[in-house]
Amino acid sequence: MRISHRSTSELLLHGVIIAVPFVVLAVLVLHRLAPSGVFTIDAGTQELSPYINRILPIERAPNDGDGVRLIEDPAYFTVNIPHGGYTSVDVALDFALSDQSMFEIGALTDATSQSYDFRPLVNARIDNAGWDVLRDGDRVLLQRASTYGSIASFMANAPNRTAIATYHATLDTPYRDARYTPLSPSQKIDVSLRGSHTFTTYVKNETLDVTLVYMDMNRTEGADAGALRVWNEAGEVVAESRIDDDGITSDAQQSSTHTVGVRVAHLAEGVYTVEMSGTSDIFWRVITTPQRYVTFVNQLYIADDVGYRTPRSTSFVTTAKHLTVETFHADSPQSISVGSQTLLLPESHEKVQSDITDAGLVAALTPVGDVKITGAGLFAFSSASFFNPYPTRLTAYTDLDREGIDYVFATYRSPLSLANSSVRGVASFDLAKIRQPDDTIKFTLSAPGIADTTGIRVNNIRLQFHKPPMTFGDVIQKIVNRIW
């Protein structure tokens, strides 16, 4: 019998060889469990990642060196949410500074209405304003003259709203109209609108009551569900009526007519937002309401009247100063009058953009339907149903001088400077509001007017998912559960 006596160094070596896989496994498990409460993912915009997908479409975001260059607006990317009970996410984009004035990221909140929650990544109009600047955390106040010594004093004694522009921010004092009186009798707005729309109204000593007649046109494949929702000033849903599909999910073009409504009594005085959520197959035909104001936000998609009534013209008013107009049927190209200007739509599926030079509320007319009109501003189908409870919204096209703006109030963090003239813009989101049913996040990147610039080169995307930190006991229990 021969007994082998190993040296201490040999025993240590064998121990290390046996221990290494367990150490590596433990490190990987700990990384994946993120006991600190933070799980970080870094990926170049051309790298393959199990969590971050490429920015698309490629024709709007072609490869540029080891990054991608955004050359047309908008572009998109999706993110797979890691398991682990995360509640929020910080999204950081590293990109090269360019001549682009605004760059924002939005997360999809409602797939039916294609609603996005946008956050700023960079705003050169704020960073390079040259006005007096006051800061309080993420709150920023630009003032043409040094009138206020602090943001608190500005809020306590704010000027007239017509002199203020806001950017991703709201004033502390809500809009109130001491002279407001309810409308009597109800108004009936006989106009065709296609797909999701949002309008604002005002309630004071009255019942909020909205009834919609709509048609499910069944021109495209899939179910056509939706909803009619009412939101208060705190962003809370105070009423909701669901819209169910009519049972035809094919593109048979067999229409059906329905009615949906909401009625809420004893609401507090204030501004309320009414969301008409629906697919492109939902055509809203008639709005009936005793509310005095029905003012639409940022868009009107005026539908065609095929199969409903003889084609007709539609008049409206708007405060938007930069409009994008598009029609989708081959026989619909037309001209649209907006104030003193005429917007020509020479072809279908071609977006036409125009700056509106007329000041204030402008009257407009489209001779037939099937035209989508978008712009940062408000729209109504008569001056009597129009009201403006908001300060001017700062966009890439806002003319501060022409619109008499002396103050810009924003929620904004300037991007961090990196090497090689690059910067890092960061935006934070609540996962409960943006998580899609397939456990993904759908982001859009928006840079208004980017087609007229040199574009934006995006190099890297970093995600930091957050949850409450774990105790040592939590970690051990998680590891044991994974092993067994």
- Helix H, strand E, coil C: the string for the chain is CCCCCCCHHHHHHHHHHHHHHHHHHHHHHHHHHCCCCEEEEEEECCCCCCCECCCECCCCCCEECCEEEECCCCEEEEEECCCCCCCEEEEEEEEECCCCCEEEEEEEEECCCCEEEEEEEEEHHHHCCCCEEEEECCEEEEECCCCCCCHHHHHHCCCCHHHEEEECCCCCCCCCCCCCCCCCCCEEEEEEEECCEEEEEEECCCCEEEEEEEEECCCCCCCCCEEEEEECCCCCEEEEEEECCCCCCCCCCCCEEEEEEEEECCCCCEEEEEEEECCCCEEEEEEEECCCCCEEEEEEEECCCCCCCCCCCEEEEECCCEEEEEECCCCCCCEEEECCEEEECCCCCCCEEEECCCCCCEEEEECCCCEEEEEEEEEECCCCCCCCCCCEECCCCCCCCCCCCCEEEEECCCCEECCCCEEEEEEEEEHHHHCCCCCEEEEEEECCCHHHCCCEEEEEEEEEEECCCCCHHHHHHHHHHHHC
Angle ∠(198,309,341) on CA atoms, nearest 5: 60
Residue 161 burial class via C-beta count within 10 angstroms: exposed 0-12, middle 13-18, buried 19 and up: middle
Q: What phi and psi values does residue 324 have, to the nearest 5 degrees?
A: -115, 125
pLDDT at 37: 86
Q: Spell out a b/e string for 416-441, using b for 16 or more CB atoms within 10 Å of the CB, else e.
A: eeeeeebbbbbbebebeebbeeeebb
- Distance, in Å, from the CA atom of 191 to the CA atom of 284, rounded to the nearest integer, reads 8
Q: Spell out a b/e string for 313-343, using b for 16 or more CB atoms within 10 Å of the CB, else e.
A: ebebbbbbbbbbbbbeeeebbbebebbeeeb
**Bond from prior residue into 389 cis (ω within 30 degrees of 0):** no
- Which residues of the chain register pLDDT less than 70? 1-34, 330-333, 470-484
pLDDT at 346: 80
Structure tokens at 253: 């073009």
Given a contact cutoff of 8 angstroms between Cβ atoms, the answer to whether 206 and 266 are in contact is no
Per-residue pLDDT reduced to its tens digit, 224-237: 989 999 999 999 99
pLDDT at 58: 95
Given a contact cutoff of 8 angstroms between Cβ atoms, the answer to whether 170 and 154 are in contact is no
pLDDT at 470: 65
User: Which residue type occupies 234?
Assistant: A
pLDDT at 6: 59
- Distance, in Å, from the CA atom of 72 to the CA atom of 177, rounded to the nearest integer, reads 42
- Distance, in Å, from the CA atom of 228 to the CA atom of 119, rounded to the nearest integer, reads 26
Report the predicted TM-score, pTM, of the whole model to 2 decimal places.
0.79
User: Which residue type occupies 93?
Assistant: L
Per-residue pLDDT reduced to its tens digit, 305-359: 888 888 899 999 999 999 999 988 766 667 899 999 999 888 888 888 898 988 8
User: Which residue type occupies 259?
Assistant: T
Considering only CA atoms, which of 190, 187, 217, 188 is closest in space to residue 312?
190
CA dihedral of 26, 28, 33, 36, whole degrees rounded to 10: 90
